[in-house]
Amino acid sequence: MSDSVLPLKGNKKELLTALITGATSGIGRATAQEFAKHGINLVLCGRRQERLDTVQKDLSKHVNVHTLNFDVRDKDATFKAIGSLPEAFQTIDILINNAGNAHGLDPIQTGNLDDWDAMMDINVKGLLYVSKAIIPSMTERQSGHIINIGSSAGKEVYPKGNVYCGSKHAVLAITEGMRIDLNPFGIKVTAINPGLVETEFSEVRYKGAENANNTYKGFKALQAEDVAEAIYFAVSRPAHVNIADILMFCTAQASSTIVKKDL
């Protein structure tokens, strides 16, 4: 890591602290691991305490780690958890809004209402709750970086994507709105939009590991580590550089509906 991208606060030799939601698996966990390599202290959030404990044990060898066990869908729990941070972790320099989900692949006319609620509550409202809890301290300090994990589904609607695509379009719009509103405070705002990524996330979408695994046969999908590296690239730019938006596909993917498979 070159000196130009060392994670320091200004000229002070004080390490940055990042809060990551959905940190127990997939992109969130890979991002925590990537940040730990570069000496960024971590607040890891998730619904599964056992997994949080496992990640904490692993990464505490490298940086200071604190865990918060809550569901971003629960507004009161979100504010209570973030409000409980010990003093050493209260200054959040980097917020990674990663928690999200996709449920089902039904056409709109037969869509499951519980699936719709889950996607909108986690992908949109959960992101807003966490951001609302963190942003005031950033505006007060006039510094910080917010990265919202969107999706290629936020840029392109595809068959049977309806509500999921709608939620990710909302994430992109919110991200752009954040960038405008927080501009006077010098706060960076970034959207990272991956295409097909091979994680546990897919098991939820396809409602079973077997179906999810079949989706990735015949080509090499993005891995969580690929996205984590892009996230670190964004946060490690010099102070005057903001990576506003990244759309990333695996080589085999050209769009949401075009994937080259070797079957």
Q: Domain ranges in the chain?
A: 3-248
Say if residue 254 is exposed, middle or buried (CB neighbours under 10 Å; 0-12, 13-18, 19+): exposed
Tell me 217's DSSP state: T
Tracing tokens 């990674």 back to the chain, one arrives at: 96
Question: Which uninterrupted H or E stretch holds 246?
Answer: strand 245-248
Q: In what order do the strands lie in the sheet with 145-149?
A: 65-69, 41-46, 17-20, 94-97, 145-149, 188-194, 245-248
CA distance 77 to 74: 5
**Encoded amino acid at 131, one letter:** S
pLDDT at 1: 36
pLDDT at 9: 60
CA distance 154 to 25: 22
CA distance 198 to 58: 22
Strand partners, 18: 42, 94
CA distance 246 to 261: 24
Choosing from 129, 158, 164, 206, the catalytic residue is 164
pLDDT at 92: 98
158 is catalytic: no
Strand pairing of 145-149 and 41-46? unpaired
pTM summary value? 0.93
* pLDDT < 70 positions in the chain: 1-13, 201-212
- 8 A C-beta contact, residue 95 and residue 145: yes
CA distance 207 to 225: 23
239: alpha, beta or left, given left = phi > 0 and alpha = psi -120 to 50?
Answer: alpha
Give the Cβ contact number of residue 86 at 10 Å: 8
Give the Cβ contact number of residue 111 at 10 Å: 16
CA distance 161 to 64: 39
**Domain 3-248 homologous superfamily, CATH:** NAD(P)-binding Rossmann-like Domain (3.40.50.720)
- 224-235 and 26-37 are packed helices; what angle lies between their axes, rounded to 10 degrees? 50
Q: Is 31 helix (H, G, I), strand (E, B) or coil?
A: helix
- pLDDT tens for residues 141-175? 999 999 999 999 999 999 999 999 999 999 999 99
pLDDT at 3: 38
CA distance 72 to 96: 13
